[in-house]
Chain A
Amino acid sequence: MAAVTLLEARGLTRHFGGLKAVNGVDFALDEGEIHALIGPNGAGKTTFVSLLSGRIPAQSGTIRLRGRDITRLPAHARVRAGIAYTFQITQIYAALTVFDNVALAVQGRGGHPLAAQAMAALDRVGLADRAGQIAGTLSYGHQRVLEIAMGLALAPLLLILDEPTQGLAEGEIATFKDIVRSVVPQTTVLLIEHNMDVVMGLADRITVLNFGEVLATGTPAEIRANPAVQAAYLGG
């Protein structure tokens, strides 16, 4: 089956002063895949996904979502177009209830009925019984999961996860992997991840960034066997 392209970036560039954080990156995501983005610290991974989600404007290049040019679309409009982003550093509404956190996400895409859809999103990640709790009082792991629930509640075409397993315990990582597997193929997942077990276990394809440029793209087996990747990142 020929893969259908969901999102395509061409020549995407963002420099900060002399630092070429993202430098002429060509990139394509297939519908329904789990795609991991790896690379050493400072390789430009977070900047790259920030360009895709619109949090940072691109200096040059184009981004197309299902063929539609979204390069100039502001971040909130890209969310409505179907690109959900979960932050590297947990960003929830700590003072609001767990339910309100997710309800806001459902509202963000105009979902009806609000309460049922919010509860469904919480149910998917196993937080339904904590709906009334103040989000800031959740454990760190639950806060990370809540943030993923907010992403799911947006019912996005593309879910971008920026280092989602950072700081999670082993058991929580297993739960996280199950959640991610359950959202494809309706939702395509782009994942920045340092934990190689998670990457190799989840990803259909992997893109390696280094110094703001694409070093390699391929299946986990191809990436493992790639000598350039081994030299730059995997450390042989």
Chain B
Amino acid sequence: MPLFGLAPTEWQAVQLSLLVAFWASLLSLPLAVLVAYALARWQFWGRQLLNICVHLPLILPPVVTGYVLLLVFGQTAPVGRFLNDTFGIVLAFRWTGAVLAAAVMAFPLMMRAIRLAIEAVDPKLEQAATTLGAGPIRVFLTITVPMMAPGLVAGVVLAFAKAMGEFGATITFVANIPGQTQTLPSAIYAFLQVPGGMLLRFGFWSCLFLSLFLRWRCPNGWRGALCMAQANDAFFRSQSFRRRFQSCAQISGSQRR
């Protein structure tokens, strides 16, 4: 039964996207905080190397990232086999793999936002807290985290938006299996193969939904500008999707004619 003009299979894609984006943001958060703190505050050998590695998913073509994931976490690959044998976790061609792909792609964005937030926290306040008898962990939890909280939320929302729109790595690593790995962008891509008006409707609703979600999460006056920029960014990405698909549909349509 169509709801808001979307068929059940289309809703499945929306649900899967939400699930994947949620888990991707949540699971990459602790690591992002750790890496952001290390890069912001600590001096150690290999610091620049770590910085470059973390930013790789941002600069490499998404398909390349997906391919690397396949090489490392695929069913015949070393880590993939280890995970399967020891924990029974299978990543390739499962929604868990989509989570991993989305997490890897979204990680640099989240890390950058959190790192900026940590760098904005005045180290003199942390010093003052130390002289008052607070150990390093207490200083981190009571001083650093509350003061970087808005930046942390911005990072999570950013990662969520990126994960929602993640296509290249996902489709390379876990393919396009409806119900398992067919996220929103993959579904749009699949529907592209079938000429018709479903694409526009689908694309429109998904972009509207995403923008509204982000708008709800970041009301005006509270990093509103940043969040709106991210919502616009996600919208534009799907816009360019639509434009590309529209031109492809025109070509396929003209071919048919």
A, B co-complexed: no
Interface residues of B (CB under 8 A from A): none
